[in-house]
């Protein structure tokens, strides 16, 4: 009997993101002082999120971008009840974990590693960091919020130890309610993060220059202190 498959043809339902490629840009990881793990949005690609590596380019920084199976980390909306198919979120979190282990084994510690994502990838980045709180170089959620239905409590250990976290979003975003961004900022502060939240009137579901500047300043500071 054949194994069960997900809605995406040829993708195993048990661990859909297993075996997906991880693309790289910037400094070779073996020589990097700082690393950024970048998570793309729904319907996008690792190549598309790596486009941000150019405006963020900083000497000594490696950029890694895992690819989601079928272009989506999970098939439901990030505030839907996390019931089915839970295997997709579990697999997505495992894909982030594999990328971070790869970075650490190359000699870049967590405190010089930045976890960054946009849209669905930003939600995944924030959720992974909340569940695995420790001192990171930084966590960046662009047009993103923590995952879970209304009323969710992210009661994880407060172990961020002052990790800088950036949340940037449009004042009116078609996919990310402003209230969830505020709620995420509060939750991450309770977990010990140093949160910067910026809401941009009139911005679409995109990344703006102010956000790029904030992340680039973070990377410059991390490389200087390496």
What is the per-residue DSSP string for 114-181?
Answer: EEEEETHHHHHHHHHHHHT-S--SEEEEES----S-TT---------TT-EEEEEEESS-SSS-HHHH
d(CA 58, CA 34): 9
Above 90 in pLDDT, residue 116?
yes
Q: Which of 91, 173, 175, 184 is catalytic?
A: 173
Whether 155 is catalytic is no
Q: Which of 91, 119, 143, 184 is catalytic?
A: 119
Q: Which of 51, 132, 194, 205 is catalytic?
A: 205
Above 70 in pLDDT, residue 3?
no
Task: Read off the DSSP letter of residue 193.
Answer: -
Strands in 22-26's sheet, in edge-to-edge order, are 22-26, 61-66, 34-39, 113-118, 138-142, 164-170, 194-200
Above 90 in pLDDT, residue 8?
no
| Domains in the chain, CATH or no CATH each | 22-225 (3.40.50.1820)
d(CA 217, CA 209): 12
Whether 40 is catalytic is no
- The number of CA neighbours under 13 Å toward the Cβ of 63 is 24
Any idea which of 32-36, 76-80, 113-117, 149-153 has the lowest mean pLDDT? 76-80
Task: Please give the model's pTM, rounded to 2 decimal places.
Answer: 0.92
Whether 175 is catalytic is no
pLDDT of residue 82: 57
Per the structure block, which two tokens stand in for 197?
């939240």
Per-residue confidence band for 14, with pLDDT thresholds at 50, 70 and 90: confident
Residue with tokens 């963020």: 56
């Amino acid at each position: 009997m054949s194994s069960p498959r997900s809605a995406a043809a040829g993708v195993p339902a048990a661990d859909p993101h297993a075996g997906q490629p991880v693309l790289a840009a910037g400094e070779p990881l073996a020589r990097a002082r700082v690393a950024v793990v970048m998570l793309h949005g729904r319907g996008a690609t690792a190549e598309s999120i790596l486009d941000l590596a150019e405006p963020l380019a900083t000497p000594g920084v490696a950029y890694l971008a895992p690819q989601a199976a079928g272009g989506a980390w999970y098939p439901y909306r990030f505030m839907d009840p996390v019931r089915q198919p839970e295997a997709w979120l579990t697999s997505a979190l495992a894909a982030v974990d594999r990328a971070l282990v790869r970075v650490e084994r190359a000699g870049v510690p967590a405190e010089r590693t930045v976890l960054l994502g946009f849209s669905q990838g930003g939600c995944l980045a924030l959720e992974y960091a909340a569940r695995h709180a420790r001192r990171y170089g930084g966590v960046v959620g662009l047009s993103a919020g923590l995952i879970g239905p209304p009323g969710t409590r992210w009661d994880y250990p407060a172990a961020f130890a002052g990790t800088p976290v950036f949340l940037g979003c449009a004042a009116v975003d078609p996919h990310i309610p402003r209230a969830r961004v505020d709620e995420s900022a509060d939750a991450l502060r309770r977990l010990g993060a140093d949160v910067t939240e910026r809401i941009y009137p009139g911005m679409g579901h995109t990344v703006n220059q102010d956000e790029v500047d904030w992340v680039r300043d973070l990377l410059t500071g991390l490389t200087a202190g390496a």
